[in-house]
Structure 1
Amino acid sequence: MQRIKLLCDSNDRKTALALIGTDETAYLSDSIIKINNQISDNIRKRLNKSQSDFVKVNSRNDKLGYTVIIVSMILIIFVFHFLIKETSKTKKISKELREEKENYRITLNSLAEGLITTNKEGHVVYMNPSAERLTGWNWREAKKQQLNTVFNVVNEETGKPVENIVSRIMNDGKKIEWENNTLLKSKDSGAFIISNNGSPLLDLNGSMTGVVLVFDDITERKKAEKKIKQLSVAVEQSPASVVITDLKGNIQYVNQKFINVTGYSAEDVMGKNSRILKSGYTSAAEYENLWKRITSGLEWRGELHNKKKNGEFYWELALISPIINAKGEIISFLAVKEDITERKKTEEKILKSEEQYRDLVDNITDLICTHDLDGKVLSMNSAAEKLTGFKFDPQQTMNIKDLLASNAKSEFDDYMTGIKKNGFGHGLMKIKTHSGKIRIWEYNNSLKTTGVSTAIVRGYARDITEQKKAEKELKKSEARLKEAQIIAHISNWEIDFVSNTQTWSDEFYRIYGISKAEVQPSTELFLSFMHPEDAGFAQKKVQEGFDSLKDSSFNFRFIRKDGATRHGYSEWRFEFDKKGNPLRLYGILQDITDRKEAEEKLKLLEQKILEQKIQEQKNIAKAIIKAEEKERNHMGQELHDNVNQILAGTKMYLGMVGKDDEKTKASIKYPMELIDNAINEIRSISHRNVTPQKNIDLIDLLQSLFDKLEKNSGLKTELKFDLSDPIKNDDLVLNIYRIIQEEINNILKHAAAKNVSISLETIDNRIQIITTDDGKGFNLNKIRNGIGISNMINRIETFNGKMEIISSPGNGCEIMIEIPF
């Protein structure tokens, strides 16, 4: 008991409590009571003996004896009084010990920490209720069990059992403290992370009699510590700058991103006012509005033009909000800032590019516009306003149908049906201008469904009214020419079979450039003027006429006497008698050189017009494709760099809201999972849309596409390439990538293929792309030109390429594309 008192006085409460629970102290209390009972028995025996002796002495002894007896009696009374007093004191001590033991027992039972004592063999002697709760063992079940059986602990990280603590303490005689990563496995399959230590139990002689263990459940504390650590790591490793200031704007904390962006170290800015970042470009009014909002408990969001340590300017997108304590008081300010310098530079480039594109669109002489699927005009260029005579106003409704001539309005529904079905449309439109004139437009429009919230139609048209008038006049001229040719430059000839004579008109001689007086008309003379390349054909044609006696005609080239090569036309007919015998053969010879040359010029003109039109259409298509790529890149970057950051910030704040409240944490778990899904989906969309604009490595892009394809779809892919001649046109490289990307999308959507192979090869300044799959194939006669195939065809034709598809049901598909470069 003396040792317990000393331990209590030295505040070693756990060891004292453990010692009370041992068999040694229980034995000590029982010994005190036993000694007290023995003393009481001895006193009674001595009193009885003294009384007997007194009677004997009284009967035979003298006065001296009485004296001795009296003295003895006094001594006996004195001893008896002393013994009674000691007995009373012993009983009082025993009572106090029992009360103290009860108090210690209550204390042990009330402890939140678990406490277990063992003997020196490692058998459990005592467990308090907290130990019973944590281990899952009842004290009576656990008593005399080996400690390792009841106190089943393993290393939290490795899962390996912790060594026998009783043996270590008994061998070393020292107190042992374990790391806080010890895991206690409960009998009822529960598990707790515990903080624990063990100490030796000593008797009054200082000898070890066992071990006392004290341990505590720190599972929730460890979880909280882990959350705090994760939050700290997230803030420190955040891709956005994080700054915390006091109420005056003096910096209290910056993360690593801030240091990387500004060039300032933490020591440079700690305690300094955040105005050290000011560049002078952000207006005082903006700062005034910022402070007004955050000091009133609201958040502020905006762009700041700041200055780095080295004097370099940069842009930040900042979200600044007050930090409020439990009393509702603002204690500091938190700023989360994203470096948007590159984005601002990109926006400037895009703006410049858009201005250049707008300049091109506004200054082109052909019409460019967009309209929705109801025909409502969404935009039009200056040329369109000039051609129609209408000034475009976005606030007012203008419809394509309203621009059509009265007798052409019924064609609008067919036009829109074709656009929706095929994804494109081309043809002629009759337009009524603001002044009431009827004009003819040749249009080539396409449907855009990707990268827009609602589908739109991109319109390109040119006014061919004058061209149509010219064509009409040309036809009239051809008719007049034909009539004139009947009169002029046409000779007649005749062979009389009866008299066996031939006659030529004067025009015949003029056409050949010969003198009538110098020659005698004959078939041989006629054929002698044939062009060498046409001579055999002409001989054969004439012989066939004589043999078959059938009317006929043919075109040929002949060489005049003066050496000029001309084009001729001859037509003949037979005249028969009643019996069917030929009487004569008559016909015409016409010099059609002028007509031929006119036809050739017309063909060349038409070809030139067609080539110009095709080239202009291709230029427009290239411009549109290039603008679309820029828009896709811009949208992908905006989604990745801005929206994803917003979602990540939202997730972080949701995590902070739920960190101390399990109910709140459970409520926001699903929204946070949705945010994760949104971030991943946005990242996937961004990666599919964003491609390099210059120095594009086609093989790297395709390899990346195939790697993702194998990973996400399970398709077996093979990419073969032999690009011996480098492709230096970035627009062409990007279009080839988009074409292959569209092929892959079609295979995934429709083919149900297991294997896909793509080969790229450059041959004689042509790039050949062959794509094969082992899917279900399709009937080429039933192929529908959907948006995907239409986009491929447009991209291929834009670069003067061609495409061939080989497929049949059940036999997969092969697509061969050739594009010159």
Structure 2
Amino acid sequence: MNTRKKAGEKAGNAYSSVSSGAIPMSGILHSPARLLIIVLGAIFFGESVIMLVIHNFMPPMGHEWVGLIDALALMVVITPPVYILYYKSLKKNINLLEMSEKRNKAITQSTNTAIVQINSEGNITFWNNAAEKIFGYSPDEVLGKTFHPLIAPGRYSEAIVKGLAQFSTTGKGVYIGKIFETFALRKNGSEFPVELSVSAVQINNEWHSIGIVNDITKRRRAEEALVNTNRVLKMLWDCNQALVRFENERSLLNELCRIIVEVGGYRLVWIGFTEHDEAKSIIPVAYYGFEKGYLEALKTTWADTGTRGREPTGIAIRSGVTQVARNILTDPSLKPWRKEALKRGYASSASIPLLVKGRGIGALSVYSADKDAFDEKELYLLNELANDLAFGIETSRTRSELRRSEKQYEDLYENAPDMLASVEAKTGNIVRCNKTLAEGIGYSKEEIIGRHIFTLHHANCMEKVRSKVFPALKKSKEVRDAELMLQRKDGSSLEALLNVTTIRDEHGNISHSRLSWRDITALKQMEKNLIQRDEMLNRSQEIAHIGSWELDLANDKTYWSDELYNIYGLKRGDVYPSYKTFLNLVHPDDREKIKIFRSQPFEKGNTNEIEIRIARPDGVERILLDQFNVEFDKTGEPFRLIGVNLDITQRKEAHEKIRRSNAELRYALEKLEKTQSMLIRSEKLASLGHLAAGVSHEIKNPINIILANVQLIQMEDNLGDGVKESCDIMFNQVERVVKIIDNLRDFARERKPEIKKIDLHSFLDKTIALVEYEMRAEGVDIRINYLPESIIIDGDQDQLAQVFLNIINNAHYSINQKRSAQTKKEPGLLSVKTCVKEENAHIIFSDNGAGIDRETLRRIYDPFFTTKPENQGTGLGLSIALGIIENHGGTINATSEAQGGAIFTIILPLARLNKDKN
């Protein structure tokens, strides 16, 4: 922007000055010196002729007449020759001028440089073909018009107007007579760089400027391309230097990013490596430049799925082809990331894959602040850089892997469990050994190296070493698992297995041998201990009456301990131990069970067990507990089963006796508790019944008198409002007392139920119909879910209807209580379900009401216990219902849901006809 401003100032000032060597156009028409010489010559000649004629041929006259005649004669004599001479000269000059103008016009019209002439008012007076080609205007479109609105950018207008004001009067300007670069405007409105040379001429006392204009767009592009190429080459050189000198991969990647941004002039550079996870992520491992959280927002992947997979970095890795976004603002593939990119000043980008043997391991992504910043040459050099980087990374990893392998090999050699040594074939001297050998025999490595191989072995096995080991060193014979004894520095010995391998040089000759000793001292001791433990185990199994077994699934081989033979009633050698033999011993009724058990998949770490019966050859049946663990190979397949058989016959018999005794005790206890509970409830109800029968008559007579008097008072006229209200209250309360007395009489009255066959579903439908209309009108839905088959029970219809209606009315009340407390009332629901279980009919009433708390559930069947207001319930309904159901040989049970609602389950015996049918 600053460059363009300065160029505009130059363009504006170009019209405000004139060069000191300007020539007027009148000098082109004739030469004053030549005319002067002709006139003077003609005067001299004419004057001489006239004076000669006057003095020689005319009479004497006065001076006045002589002067007059002289002047007239001079004019007559001079005018013709002067006119003839000057006309020829003028015509010649005009011809020369026309030829010059034609030549100049031909030159100006054929040149590739635009020539524009402008008068003092800023109007265009000349416009050649090159100007038409460069600016896009024809001469007819511009001649006579003000130049700067047409061909100068608008930001230069003010400076141009000021320059013209000065130029029109003085013909001077700062850049007149100079060559400079600025920007011009084409007809289509686009700007382009030009080289401008301005000169001033004066025509007929008016200053004109002539502009020589060259379009330098290509030159500018070439210069910019050269600068870019040099910049990228410098960047590539610095990066290659970093690749040569790098010490570790991470520092190399960070340094390359820094060089690319600082030397290459880019906005951001980052390097990402592929992850072989489920999402196929690209992990940024290094970046440099103006990032500000862009990579966190990017979250790209090299998978060919979803929006993230369409980001250029992922496509480059996936396809192995460089991806270029020349304008992030318009590139549709970058729409998901456009906002974040533009916020950070990214205008274009290039993602170059990092390929190793044709496989994408990552990508180098470069972001520029300029649109269309990557030309072919620049992309070629960036690809070269990416190839060098990929090669450097591969080389670095190969070197690291090699160093790691060497270190790992050295660690393995030094810390190998076996004692290792390299022995020179010719001499038998030790040239290298590991730390394990040194520590095993108590010497330092320096003390061992250089010693003869014989000196490491115990004297008791020296003959074996001479006969077997030393010849192998000479004749390339391998030694495998030779049992020898090594001599420690402290004089003690250790038992070892020796292995020898010979190594040949490039000529095929034996150069040295590698020896390895495996310390088997502990192994030998373990063998002794194992024998002892086996003896102890067999003895322990015999005492505990436990037999062990092992099954090799791969080879189908089975091992039985001695005690297992005893448990099976066999002797070792009587049968061949196998799974088939074992199945033959299993009781016929248990064989299928154990086959199914063994065929199920086994889990690691679990102990599997099953109880089985065996039929021994002597006819005795025993009960065994078979327990075993499964061992799995590396592929997860079972390859061995190890288990024990424990004879639990006596234990099972004892447990069965205890179980039967416990069952009898539990049954007796439950029967006793139930009897006590029924006795207590019966005593309570009986006492209440006797009380009710005794007092009902005594209470009801006074109550009737009170009721009659209240009615008489209500019949009186002129009663006050307070008296009427009191009478109404007394009437309602007296009716409540009467209702309680009637309930008590019903409760106390012992009436045998009239048992009949009842179709339960039809009976329930009739009972529900009594209250269905009222409940549905209040927003309570009744949902029926009967068993498809009919259910017949024995019962008293009146009593059972009383029970069912009591439960339904209680549910109705509970639902209304809950809904009255709700702002947004949810629908009420009462569900009635039937089913048959174990020759009993189950009737289940469930609602979505307020539910029943734990304390209420405990007292729900107590007489006179109620949660309703005193004028809405007596507390006898469920007590009476319980008595009715128990008299029918059934039960009633109440539960409450945690989220609200109650469930009443009534269980009644099926009718004898149903039982027989079932």
What is the TM-score normalised by the length of structure 1?
0.30
Instruction: Please identify the structure whose Cα radius of gyration is greater.
Output: 2
